[in-house]
Structure 1
Amino acid sequence: MNPIIKVIIPAYNEQDSIAHVIKDIPKIVDEVIVISNNSTDNTELNAQKAGATVLKETQKGYGYACLKGMDYIKQQTTKPDIVVFLDGDYSDYPEQLTEIIAPIIEENIDFVVGARVDEFREPGAMTPQQVFGNWIATFLMKLFFKARFTDLGPFRGIKYDKLLALNMEDKTYGWTVEMQLKVLKQKMSYREIPVKYRNRIGVSKVSGTVKGTIFAGVKILGWIFKYSFK
């Protein structure tokens, strides 16, 4: 029997990219859920036209949007086997979803991260601060937890029951690192899959601003040190 797969896409003012993302998602996905995180443009309309379920989350923050998507799934009678998280800016290649979920289906791996490796990444697709932030975060996870992660990539898949077991909390920029830290702490099996990464459509709300970059860095390091000394 084929697994039930749901995709959660947080989106804030991604009217120019969101339809591209949705249309490139493989047809094996049962439902694409776009959470408009207080968007003021046509993100919601364009997502609906492209065939997604659209939810609204007025509290601004990546984690708030992801939690909204999870709450929606919890209310459904039929639960998914796998949940995939994907950004709405078209920097990832949604068609690689089949590669992300393959280790879960074929090898019973709990959690898979798409790693934005140098060789598959377009020049300029990640800012220097993003590259450094990923390096320091994964270095510290290796130091404290002997982790094998090399990236905090947003394109990721996880078994639904394992996602619930993580009891995710972060409301903003610490979402990705919190998930990876809790996977390590709970000794879940995990894998990284190299993925392609291109320059996003539009301007990043995190790495595109000094404030966003600093706040994201503080949140990421805060989660790492919190769990390192627990």
Structure 2
Amino acid sequence: LEIKPDIIVFLDGDYSDYPEQLTELIEPIINQQIDFVIGARNSKLREKGSMTPQQAFGNWLATFLMKVFFNAKFSDLGPFRAIKYNKLVQLRMEDKTYGWTVEMQLKVLKQKMSYVEIPVRYKNRIGTSKVSGTVKGTLMAGIKIIGWIFKYAFK
């Protein structure tokens, strides 16, 4: 007998997310039957310096393109997120690097799953990011994220 979870929660392991907000994150799934919840790193709740200018711009650009191509209501590609386990399986995730957040959101849109964002706090990470902390990482992430969006926009 294999027991499957009901909800899967993702958060970064760099101390930037607030795990104590997990109950707020899963509340729409439990009480409103929402399929997917993004913890949106609201600028008012973000610690100064917790997102680099290139992260903030890339995030804005990606969510703007998702609005244009998919009429999405996302404001963030936030890593702190929750999804019903069976819906995650249904997404058939592929990306194992920089593009997994946008891939998940695009597949949620394409499969017409229900979603909401809740504002979450966000603080400065511990250590240096291999993605946003380097020019190469920033460029690779940007290329991957934009690539996923255009792949789905013209599919």
Tell whether the structures are fold-level matches, with TM greater than 0.5. yes
Give the aligned partner of residue 75 of structure 2.
Answer: 150
Q: CA deviation at 1:171?
A: 1.8
Give the aligned partner of residue 6 of structure 2.
Answer: 81
Query: Residue 50 of structure 2: which of 88, 107, 125 is its match?
Result: 125
Give the aligned partner of residue 105 of structure 2.
Answer: 180
Give the aligned partner of residue 62 of structure 1.
Answer: none
Give the aligned partner of residue 215 of structure 1.
Answer: 140
- Aligned mates of 1:115, 1:206 — CA distance in 2: 19
- Aligned mates of 2:49, 2:136 — CA distance in 1: 20
Query: Residue 197 of structure 1: which of 122, 143, 146 is its match?
Result: 122
Letter in 1 for 2:24: E
- Alignment partner of 2:88: what SS? helix
TM-score (norm 2): 0.99
Query: Residue 94 of structure 1: which of 15, 19, 30 is its match?
Result: 19
- Aligned mates of 1:170, 1:198 — CA distance in 2: 26
Letter in 2 for 1:173: Y
- Alignment partner of 1:117: what SS? strand
- Aligned mates of 1:171, 1:158 — CA distance in 2: 17
Q: CA deviation at 1:84?
A: 0.3
Q: CA deviation at 1:205?
A: 1.3
Provide structure 2 residue ranges, at least 5 long, that are not aligned to the other structure.
none
Which structure would you say has the larger RCO, counting Cα contacts within 8 Å and 6 or more residues apart? 2
- Whether 1:134 and 2:59 are equivalent positions in the alignment is yes
Q: 1:86-142 CA distances to partner (integer Å, 9 max, x unpaired)?
A: 110010001000010000000000000000011000110000000000000000000
- Alignment partner of 2:78: what SS? coil
Letter in 2 for 1:143: V
- Whether 1:159 and 2:93 are equivalent positions in the alignment is no
TM-score (norm 1): 0.67
Provide structure 1 residue ranges, at least 5 long, that are not aligned to the other structure.
1-75
- Aligned mates of 2:39, 2:116 — CA distance in 1: 9
- Alignment partner of 1:112: what SS? strand
Letter in 2 for 1:218: I
Rg (Cα) greater in structure: 1
Give the aligned partner of residue 29 of structure 2.
Answer: 104
- Alignment partner of 2:44: what SS? helix
Identity %: 77
Q: CA deviation at 1:77?
A: 1.5
Letter in 1 for 2:55: Q
> C-alpha root-mean-square deviation of aligned residues, in Å?
0.8
Count matched residues: 155
Q: CA deviation at 1:169?
A: 0.3
